[in-house]
Amino acid sequence: MWGGRLPVSPLFSGNEWEPAICRFGSWWWDISQFQFSRTGLDLSFAEPDGRKFVSCMVPQDWYKTSRCLWLLCGLNVDEGILWIMPKPSNPRVAALAAVREELGALPAPIVVFNKSHSGSRLLARLLEEGGIFMGAHRNGSGDSVDVLKLVEYLVTQYYPDYAPLWDGGVVDDALPELVREVFSSHLGGFSGNGSWGWKLCETSHILPVVDYLFPSARYIHLVRDGRDVAFSDHRAPNRPFWKKIYFNTDGISAWRGLKFHSRDYARRSHIYNALHWVNSVTVGRFYGAMLRERCLEVRYEDLCGDYDNCARRVLAFAGVEETAGAIEAVRPGVHQESLHKYLRQPKDKVREVVEIAKPMLLAMGYMEPDGLLDIVAERVRGSSLSP
């Protein structure tokens, strides 16, 4: 109905920016005004003679530099031509877009995610001391109790495949209202001015949806040596939610001799924790890489071992201008003795952890690349295990 090619007619020439006017349907303004802002264009709205128009200032080379962003807005572009694609047929996309429009009135949040027991409580306190509102309802670790409801719902219903949210498979009437409920509760007491955010370990598994709802959000991925994390107990993967967090599927109930119940976890928690760490870091890094400059990876070892420099980098990324007070307030909670605690664990258990986590430990720089002695030792060990 509202498709068709529309000419972009510059009113001035020789300037860095050129005005352009194009017509669009009423639905477009309702669901996509915020999407337009992602292109970096200056928009104004007019309705002459009952017809809706958007007037936008476009750079002369906009069709070269912003094509990808325009496509994200549901537009297509050619040189000198802007044309609007038909209204999406999926009502759920429109419903989520409406929620995103509402959330767009808020400042962009700061989101902290990590594998549990990676030291994120310290990081969250640093951000809070820097003036960032981290939520009205939090547990003892500083995780948002409200956002957890959204994470559990999305992980249980969709993860790892969020395509049904966009392809019109099944209409999810509950999701838009859940998003409204979650952030209304989380932001209880927030003035609306300044910065806000949340910390929740498993946010990593719903980052595609969070990025859709908050296109300008910034993220901090906290990573800690998996050998240390493996000896900090959490919980067994004995529910569909936790099976997906560990293994990306809830269809698994046993694997490599693991039974997935609490008794087995208590007996071999370091094995479970190593598997959990590998998947958490993998998911966080893969999704985080897609967020580009909006995602900052921080090592817990740097936060403790080089506290001042690391804290300043974190606070600067979060947009905190006055950092000295926050850094001093949190300093007493920094404990370097919490680093490398795996060295105090039985060597056979550490070796079992490394057997699971070695590729990621190497990729993260927590282990030195294999040398000749490592290869020989592994061959000797392999031969001793042979029947």
The pLDDT tens digits for 334-356 are 998 889 999 999 999 999 999 99
SS3 (DSSP) at 340:
coil
pLDDT more than 70, % of the chain: 72
Q: What is the pLDDT of residue 293?
A: 97
Q: What is the pLDDT of residue 142?
A: 96
Q: Residue 279 and residue 282: Cα distance in Å, rounded? A: 5
Q: What is the pLDDT of residue 253?
A: 94
Single out the residue of 126, 131, 149, 129 nearest to residue 139, CA to CA.
149
Q: Residue 112 and residue 108: Cα distance in Å, rounded? A: 13
What's the CA angle centered on 153, arms 33 and 277, to 5 degrees?
Answer: 105
Single out the residue of 257, 262, 255 nearest to residue 239, CA to CA.
262
Q: What is the pLDDT of residue 90?
A: 60
Q: What is the pLDDT of residue 315?
A: 98
Q: What is the pLDDT of residue 88?
A: 44
Q: What is the pLDDT of residue 386?
A: 52
Q: What is the pLDDT of residue 92?
A: 57
Q: What is the pLDDT of residue 193?
A: 86
SS3 (DSSP) at 276:
helix
Q: Within the chain, which residues score under 50 in pLDDT?
A: 1-89
Q: Residue 381 and residue 386: Cα distance in Å, rounded? A: 9
- The pLDDT tens digits of the residues spanning 240-284 come to 999 999 999 999 999 999 999 999 999 999 999 999 999 999 999
Structural domains of the chain, ranges and CATH numbers in brackets: 5-87 (3.30.70), 93-344 (3.40.50)
Burial of 98 (0-12, 13-18, 19+ CB in 10 A): middle
Q: What is the pLDDT of residue 319?
A: 97
pTM value is 0.76
Q: Residue 76 and residue 140: Cα distance in Å, rounded? A: 48
